[in-house]
């Protein structure tokens, strides 16, 4: 080998040594158990993520952790060294026993929360990994609701408050529930500071009672009485409100109970325009409505949301003829006439079209008819024709001058009678007499044929013989 060749070889060896030295300087030779490292994901196998953390070999992270589902190739991750024997294994959580206990102490004194992961279940509670320190969370402090299956919580991550330090054992008692309570108290205090009579708020229906609903205003509850739900009468709260429904309300009164606790009275209808103040009604006006329900005194009709009218029984007529309440077709829209309106009292009196028509009778004097008893008065019996609008009097003189007691007993209301129209006076009043009375022989005829002088020629002589 010539001197020149020897020089070239020497230079190549020196260059390689320099490169090797530089590589080793840029590469981590080892990492410590529990150490926090940052790297880039370079590969994803069936079981692991492969992460370049600067060591000579790639570190792996198990895909069994559900949090790895959102990590892709090329993403940068921060994790903790869980194992260094053979291959480097990473974990997204700090490694228990290799954490910095001062982190726990500082969070406790500052009353701040720390993120932790449930790593196990023991008697009375859970083992929590917080910053590499194994802490204890009583079972009642993990959530607001009762925990039935503790094992299902293993692997879950949430924020915890340090409520007690164990300096000797380098551990702590923690609570997630307390953080929730603290946050609710904070929101409650903020809400209380801005609540005053007249303020408008949006809440959620938390509880429904017969007398109203309790509204969650965001940490504080108020009562929405059933009378404050709408401008009209609400029979059932559930007809308007449902559980968990958002509802806008106004605070109408704030008072304190005997224990000094604040009570908020709310109103929904205060934020809703009163339809009685918007809608105008005039007597004789025709409008559409829907009969909703009946009562002994009439029929209730819905005109629109918040406005109902009443057809009194006395006005329940069509074409001037009385209608039975049972004949009214409910829940079917129809036309009605405004008879009277009192907006101050929110009362609307309605009737069917033609309620005030005066029916024309077609009866003629001497015509037979069927009628029914309406009422017994001192002058006789008031009757109503069954197939004609005619109504009139069956006078007492046609009833053998019965006294009132006998007329009441003999002519009960509703009894059907066979009558004859006896007369119509100049005021259009009808007088009836019984059909049997009309067919009877009158008094004058009886006197004539009972006379002894003509008894021999009397065809009814045997009848009058004494």
207: domain CATH number? Answer: 2.40.50.140
Number of H helices, E strands in the chain: 8, 27
Map residue 447 onto helix, strand or coil.
helix
Same domain? For 285 and 262 the reply is: no
What residues make up the domain containing 52? 24-91
Quick check: is 370 in a domain? yes
Q: 16-54: string of b/e by CB count within 10 Å (b at 16+)?
A: eeeeeeeeeeeeeeebeebbebebebeeeeeebbbbebe
Tell whether the model's pLDDT for residue 466 goes beyond 80.
no
Regarding predicted confidence, which is higher, 134 or 261? 134
Quick check: is 401 in a domain? yes
pLDDT, tens only, 249-259: 999 999 888 88
Same domain? For 223 and 135 the reply is: no
Say which residue the tokens 């509850």 belong to.
Answer: 221
Which is it for strands 298-304 and 307-312: parallel, antiparallel or unpaired? antiparallel
pLDDT of residue 443: 45
Please give the tally of structural domains in the chain: 5
User: In which band, very low, low, confident or very high, does the pLDDT at 350 lie, cut at 50, 70 and 90?
Assistant: very high
Residue pair 136/173 in contact by the 8 Å Cβ criterion: yes
User: In which band, very low, low, confident or very high, does the pLDDT at 32 lie, cut at 50, 70 and 90?
Assistant: confident
Tell whether the model's pLDDT for residue 28 goes beyond 70.
no
pLDDT of residue 5: 58
Of 47, 66, 91, the residue that ends a domain is: 91
Of 176-180, 202-206, 352-356, where does mean pLDDT reach its minimum?
352-356
Quick check: is 320 in a domain? yes
pLDDT of residue 460: 45
CB atoms closer than 10 angstroms to residue 55: 19
pLDDT of residue 427: 84
Same domain? For 463 and 399 the reply is: yes
Tell whether the model's pLDDT for residue 102 goes beyond 70.
yes
Contacts of 453 (CB under 8 A, 6+ apart): none
Of 62, 91, 120, the residue that ends a domain is: 91
pLDDT of residue 98: 78
pLDDT of residue 12: 57
Same domain? For 112 and 173 the reply is: yes
pLDDT, tens only, 51-95: 998 888 899 999 988 888 889 999 999 888 888 887 899 988 888
Quick check: is 214 in a domain? yes
Same domain? For 465 and 416 the reply is: yes
Residue from 339, 345, 334, 335 nearest 307 by CA: 345
Same domain? For 386 and 457 the reply is: yes
Same domain? For 105 and 165 the reply is: yes
Mean pLDDT across the stretch 238-262?
Answer: 90
Quick check: is 18 in a domain? no
Quick check: is 205 in a domain? yes
Of 330, 351, 372, the residue that ends a domain is: 351
Quick check: is 188 in a domain? no
Same domain? For 341 and 376 the reply is: no
pLDDT of residue 463: 42
pLDDT of residue 266: 95
3-state percent helix, strand, coil for the chain, nearest multiple of 5: 25, 40, 35
Same domain? For 427 and 368 the reply is: yes
User: In which band, very low, low, confident or very high, does the pLDDT at 442 lie, cut at 50, 70 and 90?
Assistant: very low
Same domain? For 287 and 317 the reply is: yes
Residue from 271, 262, 177 nearest 221 by CA: 262
* Separation of alpha carbons 123 and 310, rounded Å: 69
Residue from 244, 243, 241, 216 nearest 226 by CA: 241
Quick check: is 163 in a domain? yes
Tell whether the model's pLDDT for residue 328 goes beyond 80.
yes
pLDDT, tens only, 294-324: 999 999 999 998 899 999 999 998 876 788 8
Same domain? For 263 and 203 the reply is: yes
Question: Please, what is the average pLDDT of the chain?
Answer: 85
Of 102-106, 122-126, 165-169, 460-464, where does mean pLDDT reach its minimum?
460-464
């Amino acid at each position: 080998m010539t001197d020149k060749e020897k020089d070239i070889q020497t230079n190549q060896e020196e260059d390689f040594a320099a490169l090797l030295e530089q590589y080793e300087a840029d590469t981590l030779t080892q990492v410590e158990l529990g150490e926090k490292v940052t790297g880039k994901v370079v590969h994803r196998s069936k079981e692991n993520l492969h992460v370049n953390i600067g060591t000579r070999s790639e570190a792996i992270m198990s895909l069994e952790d559900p949090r790895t589902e959102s990590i892709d190739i090329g993403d940068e991750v921060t994790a903790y060294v869980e194992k260094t024997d053979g291959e480097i294994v990473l974990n997204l959580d700090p490694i228990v026993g290799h954490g910095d206990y001062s982190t726990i102490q500082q969070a406790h004194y500052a009353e701040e929360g720390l993120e932790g992961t449930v790593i196990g279940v023991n008697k009375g509670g859970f083992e929590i990994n917080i910053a590499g320190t194994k802490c204890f969370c009583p079972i009642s402090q993990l959530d607001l609701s009762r925990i039935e299956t503790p094992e299902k919580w293993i692997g879950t991550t949430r924020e915890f408050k340090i409520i007690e330090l164990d300096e000797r054992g380098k551990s702590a008692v923690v609570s997630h529930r307390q953080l929730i309570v603290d946050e609710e108290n904070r929101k409650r205090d903020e809400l209380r500071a801005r609540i005053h009579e007249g303020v408008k708020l949006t809440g959620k229906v938390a509880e429904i009672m017969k007398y109203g609903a309790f509204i969650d205003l965001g940490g504080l509850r108020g009562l929405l009485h059933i009378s404050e739900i709408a401008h009209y009468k609400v029979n059932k709260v559930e007809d308007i409100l449902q559980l968990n429904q958002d509802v806008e309300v106004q605070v109408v009164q704030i008072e304190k109970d005997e224990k000094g606790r604040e009570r908020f009275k709310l109103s929904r209808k205060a934020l809703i325009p009163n339809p009685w103040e918007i809608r105008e009604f005039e007597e004789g006006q025709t409008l559409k409505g829907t009969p909703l329900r009946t009562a002994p005194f009439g029929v209730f009709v819905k005109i629109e949301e918040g406005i109902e009218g009443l057809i009194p029984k006395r006005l329940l007529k069509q074409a001037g003829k009385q209608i039975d309440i049972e004949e009214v077709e409910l829940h079917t829209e129809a036309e009605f006439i405004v008879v009277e309106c009192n907006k101050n009292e929110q009362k609307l009196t309605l009737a069917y079209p033609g309620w005030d028509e005066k029916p024309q009778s077609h009866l003629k004097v001497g015509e037979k008819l069927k009628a029914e008893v309406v009422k017994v008065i001192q002058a006789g019996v008031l009757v109503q024709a069954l197939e004609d609008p005619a109504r009139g009097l069956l006078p007492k003189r046609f009833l053998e001058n019965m006294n009132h007691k006998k007329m009441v007993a003999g002519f009960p209301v509703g009894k059907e009678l066979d009558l004859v129209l006896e007369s119509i006076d100049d005021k259009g009043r009808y007088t009836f007499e019984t059909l049997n009375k009309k067919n009877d022989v009158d008094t004058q005829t009886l006197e004539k044929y009972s006379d002894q002088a003509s008894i021999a020629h009397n065809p009814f002589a045997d009848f009058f013989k004494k």
